[in-house]
């Protein structure tokens, strides 16, 4: 089970964009494949992981649009820009839903481990959803034909994106915490503590 959270950790980190000569060297679809692989072992654990598993497959396909940076071909970009932006917003919204279910599923498992871990994951999820929601609203508003995309708005958009990346990072680190807490060594230590507490009660 613990290895699945390690895959979630790397899968979320792969959502960072590093473009070299038009190609994203940290492809989102590869990250979603890692997440889906982790979910194959956890989908039966609770309803949240089951939902996350269902939404990951369309994300693998839709995220292919982010693999290539079309800004290197302006003539093509002008003809399909509205479609690309719409697809990117759909991917972003689905990704929010995916992260929500990953965190909610992790919380269910963490309830049997540590209350502090539950609180940590829940708080980081709320931060992520709040920041992502604001960024998604900016993205949707920018698609409206009457929207004047000024220099100030572009700066605000870029700033909100970097804050979103930070929110994504703290969620990824929460998945890594789950990985560490569920490691065989940690689980053995937890069982020993439970036995000691049980013996004291007797």
* Residue boundaries of the structural domains of the chain: 2-195
Please provide the DSSP assignment of the chain as one string: -HHHHHHHHHHHHTTS--EETTEESS-HHHHHHHHHHHHTTTTTT-HHHHHHHHHHHHHHHHGGGGSB-GGG-HHHHHHHHHHHHHHHHHHHHHHHHHHHHHHHHHHHHHTTT-HHHHHHHHHHHHHHHHHHHHHHHHHHHTTSTT----HHHHHHHHHHHHHHHHHHHHHHHHHHHHHHHTSHHHHHHHHHHHHHHHHHH-
Indicate whether this model's pTM tops 0.95: no
Per-residue tens of pLDDT for the chain, all 202 residues: 789 999 999 999 998 876 555 555 667 889 999 999 999 999 898 999 999 999 999 999 888 766 555 444 444 444 445 666 777 888 899 999 999 999 999 999 999 888 999 999 999 999 999 999 988 887 787 766 655 556 666 777 778 888 999 999 999 999 999 999 888 776 565 554 555 445 455 5
């Amino acid at each position: 089970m613990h290895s699945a959270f390690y895959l979630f950790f790397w899968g979320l980190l792969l959502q960072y964009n590093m473009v070299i000569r038009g190609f994203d060297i940290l492809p989102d679809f590869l990250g979603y494949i890692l997440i889906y692989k982790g979910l194959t072992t956890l989908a039966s654990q609770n309803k949240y992981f089951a939902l996350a598993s269902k939404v990951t497959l369309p994300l693998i396909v839709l995220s292919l649009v982010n693999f290539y940076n079309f800004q290197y071909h302006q003539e093509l970009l002008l003809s399909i820009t509205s479609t690309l932006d719409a697809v990117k917003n759909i991917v972003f919204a689905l990704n929010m839903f995916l992260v929500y279910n990953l965190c909610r599923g992790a919380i269910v498992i963490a309830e049997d481990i540590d209350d502090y871990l539950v609180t940590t994951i829940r708080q980081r999820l709320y931060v992520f959803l709040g920041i992502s929601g604001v960024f998604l609203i900016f993205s949707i508003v920018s698609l409206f034909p009457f929207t004047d995309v000024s220099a100030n708005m572009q700066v605000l958009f870029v700033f909100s994106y970097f804050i979103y990346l930070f929110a994504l990072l703290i969620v990824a680190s929460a998945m890594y915490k789950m990985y560490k807490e569920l490691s065989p060594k940690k689980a053995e230590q937890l069982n020993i503590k439970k036995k000691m507490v049980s013996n004291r009660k007797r």
